[in-house]
Structure 1
Amino acid sequence: MLGPARFRPRQTRVNHRFLNSSSLNRITTRPNSSSLMPGKNLLTDPSKVLILGAGNFGSCLADHLGDSQHEVYLWAREETVVKHFNQYHRNPNYLQDHHFSTNIKAVGPEMPGRDLINEMDVVLFAIPTQFLRDTLSRLDLHLNRENAPLLIFVNKGIEIGTHALTLEIIADTCGADIAKAATFISGPSFAKEIVKRQPTSVSVASFTESEAEKAALLFHQPHFRCYTGNDPIGIELSGALKNVYAIAAGAADGLGFENNTRAMIITRGLAEMTCIGTAYGASPLTFLGLAGVGDLFLTCSSPTSRNYTVGYRLGKGESLEKITNTLGSVAEGVSTSKGVKIIIDELGIQAPIATCIYEVLYEGKDIQVAVRELMELPPSKELDLPPTAGGPARKLMQKLGLKEGP
């Protein structure tokens, strides 16, 4: 059913090492299992995949799956993008120099209808978190709940206003059963390097283990390795929080600080992320993985990161308004910092770097003053994690009908 099609013999062997026999038994076709079509073999048959969002990351994942002989539909909001892509197999706005797989067809700008959605084995969401609730509300009208596709989410952010994670947005719009089966992919994975087939690894997590394994098998290639887990809350928080610290790292570089400062921000940023996540109810171990320290290190160290770029330009003295108007794509850390500040205050924990970034972005604090105030904080214990199984995660688990956290 789900999985890379027409695997080369070598890759099939890799996947048999990657998934043990019990795992394979869980993800072969069986009745009444979501996103499984009768008679489809995970290892040999191509999947039909709809990707919502033709930005940088959505486009690169479309190419990745098209390269595995899957039948990929890439939805774009702009009619000009759809026409250009289908005529030239290029995205006029993102990865412009890359020639995309001919297994990809662009669709849009209208939202895909019931017929197309119900033909899909997989629907992947690569749209900013702030647009997700509306998109899911419209999609829910077309979902066949008896045989729903595998839903994969690669957005990294916290919803403004509700400060909800994507899991909660899914539960609100599509119901608890859909949310429990939803799968999340996160990790150090710049789009321009994925399309170059450079070795990359990511975390794949879901409350439903078999769904995470399907997604891992779908994406697995010799240059792209997936590691599965059962802490989607931690994966979500990691992906959202690291963007805030990437802004801090970029700002430090923009101000002219060097390696010591960047190392401090990455290390203390990881400590803050782990503290926030643990208080929220995620596993602290998740923040030591690819979606945590891996993605944090990448986004704090490279101008390829949009969030790093926002921080760098702030450090150089540009206004946030000018930066966001000329960036050319969404830097989720800017909006996420609002939700993070609310979560920090509600949890009653200390996260000085995240708090300073919020104050610089939304309260007009001078960035030089913010740096001085951070460095003038009194000495404190380096690592002091709060108890796990925090209130927000517990409430979310109850909403999903799950008794225990990851």
Structure 2
Amino acid sequence: MPSTSPSPKGKVLVLGAGNFGSCLADHLGDSEHEVFMWSREKSLVEYFNEHHKNPQYLKGHCFPRTVCAVGPDLPEAEFIKRMDVLLFAIPTQGLRVLLTKLRPSLDEANPPLLIFVNKGIETDTNALTLEIIADTCGKDIARVSTFLSGPSFATEIIRRQPTMVSIASLSEDHAEKASHVFHQPWFRCYRGDDPIGLELAGALKNVYAIASGMSEGLGFENNTRASLITRGLSEMTRIGVAYGANPLTFLSLAGVGDLFLTCSSSTSRNYTVGFRLGRGETLEEVLQTLGSVAEGVTTTKGLKAIVDELEVPAPIATAVYEALYEGRNVREQAQALLELPMVKELDLPRKSGAPARALMRKLGIEEV
């Protein structure tokens, strides 16, 4: 029986000082952990430690004294080995390089708790984060790594608005430990055992948030948005099941919860990308002035490759890909979706699970 008592306060290294990494560092520092937030930018590190504010993200917010910044160099091995938790909050596309650099500093026999909050698919390999960890750090570390996802805007977390997230791992014990690291009355954690589904949900919802933004940019209203979210959830679930995820995961906070949030809020970066594209801007113009990373743009490319490989019908995701990468007109893409033939509303693929089974074999687990 898993323990329900809270874990002791510990030392946490947050790798990434962007919007989400900063808000989680603030939350953990306010939860009495000793938090170190790593940034590649020397000026950010110096400013943060002098003013206890991030000059680039969550501007104006004063962070607790339990949080300090480190960098721009990666902390040395001895520092890493003193950490109880490593929290990864960098874009997925940079994760493989970072883990490769960190690997020599990890004690394989007694590694810190690894928590990943990035949401995306590696474009060069179509790999999920779980596979990137296995490739760079080995199967033993991958099997105990944990993943956090859910409807969680950074600006609301720092204002202690009630927030609820999913935490999943192949190790129930490590999922529980990660939940204890974060859990507070204003930040509730729900455990799961399907990290593949959680990762797919967190990555894919960004693609559908772009589609939702496009819809509003074109002038469509609430009926359209509600329909798009629902059909997006159906499409996500179909892709997830074909990959080998548990369909129930897509009904979780990491699934429909995060999808609803990012598809219905103008503060979502991915929604903003779609909205501006719907208004007629080019992708290059949007990305040059966005001011932060919208992982849905790169995820769309990886998702298209996965959809093609699995031969899963995904018309919304495909339309977004064609608008982003093939120069298709957004309004014409929307009209083409509306003119598709009628289909059965709910339909899961009969053959499923090959990518997940291959990943489990890489981790030394023969059955999913």
TM-score range, shorter chain: over 0.9
8 Å contact from structure 1 (residues 300, 308) kept in 2 = yes
> Per-residue displacement from partner, 1:285-311 (whole Å, max 9, x unpaired)?
000010000000000000111000000
- Which residue in the other structure is 1:214 paired with? 177
Task: Report the Cα offset of residue 111 of structure 1.
Answer: 1.1
CA distance in 2, matches of 1:215, 1:43: 11
The alignment's C-alpha RMSD in Å is 1.0
Letter in 2 for 1:269: G
Within 5 A, what are the aligned runs for 1:248-267?
248-267=211-230
Percentage of pairs with the same residue = 65
Question: Could you tell me which of 110, 113, 129 is aligned with 2:92?
Answer: 129
Question: Could you tell me which of 331, 335, 343 is aligned with 1:368?
Answer: 331
Task: Report the Cα offset of residue 388 of structure 1.
Answer: 6.5
Letter in 1 for 2:287: T
Task: Tell me the number of residue pairs that the alignment of Structure 1 and Structure 2 aligns.
Answer: 368
CA distance in 1, matches of 2:156, 2:220: 27
**What secondary structure, in the 3-state scheme, does the structure 2 residue paired with 1:58 have?**
helix
Letter in 2 for 1:24: S
8 Å contact from structure 1 (residues 120, 149) kept in 2 = yes
8 Å contact from structure 1 (residues 270, 287) kept in 2 = yes
Within 5 A, what are the aligned runs for 1:184-223?
184-223=147-186
Task: Report the Cα offset of residue 44 of structure 1.
Answer: 6.5
Q: Does 1:175 align with 2:175?
A: no
- Which residue in the other structure is 1:23 paired with? 2
**What secondary structure, in the 3-state scheme, does the structure 1 residue paired with 2:242 have?**
helix
Runs of 4+ in 1 over 6 A off after TM superposition: none
Within 5 A, what are the aligned runs for 1:51-130?
51-130=14-93
Letter in 2 for 1:144: D
8 Å contact from structure 1 (residues 280, 392) kept in 2 = yes
Unpaired runs of 5+ residues, structure 1, are: 1-21, 26-41
Within 5 A, what are the aligned runs for 1:376-395?
376-387=339-350, 389-395=352-358
- Which residue in the other structure is 1:159 paired with? 122
Letter in 2 for 1:177: D
Letter in 1 for 2:210: I
Q: Does 1:142 align with 2:111?
A: no
8 Å contact from structure 2 (residues 7, 181) kept in 1 = no
- Which residue in the other structure is 1:351 paired with? 314
Task: Report the Cα offset of residue 141 of structure 1.
Answer: 1.3
CA distance in 2, matches of 1:315, 1:226: 36
Letter in 2 for 1:344: V
Question: Could you tell me which of 298, 305, 327 is aligned with 1:335?
Answer: 298
CA distance in 2, matches of 1:404, 1:195: 41
Letter in 2 for 1:221: Q
Question: Could you tell me which of 283, 289, 292 is aligned with 1:326?
Answer: 289
8 Å contact from structure 2 (residues 151, 261) kept in 1 = yes
CA distance in 2, matches of 1:248, 1:392: 26
CA distance in 2, matches of 1:387, 1:67: 47
CA distance in 1, matches of 2:17, 2:98: 14
Task: Report the Cα offset of residue 46 of structure 1.
Answer: 1.9
> Per-residue displacement from partner, 1:133-169 (whole Å, max 9, x unpaired)?
0000000011111110000000000001101000000
8 Å contact from structure 1 (residues 278, 387) kept in 2 = no
Q: Does 1:237 align with 2:200?
A: yes
Task: Report the Cα offset of residue 404 of structure 1.
Answer: 2.1
CA distance in 1, matches of 2:337, 2:40: 42
Question: Could you tell me which of 263, 271, 275 is aligned with 1:312?
Answer: 275
> Per-residue displacement from partner, 1:94-113 (whole Å, max 9, x unpaired)?
00021001100100011111
CA distance in 2, matches of 1:351, 1:182: 30
Letter in 1 for 2:86: V
Task: Report the Cα offset of residue 188 of structure 1.
Answer: 0.2
Letter in 2 for 1:80: S
CA distance in 1, matches of 2:293, 2:126: 18
Q: Does 1:302 align with 2:265?
A: yes
CA distance in 1, matches of 2:40, 2:353: 38
Task: Report the Cα offset of residue 115 of structure 1.
Answer: 1.0
Q: Which of 381-390 and 232-241 deviates more? A: 381-390
Letter in 2 for 1:184: F
CA distance in 2, matches of 1:295, 1:351: 19
Q: Does 1:402 align with 2:353?
A: no
Unpaired runs of 5+ residues, structure 2, are: none
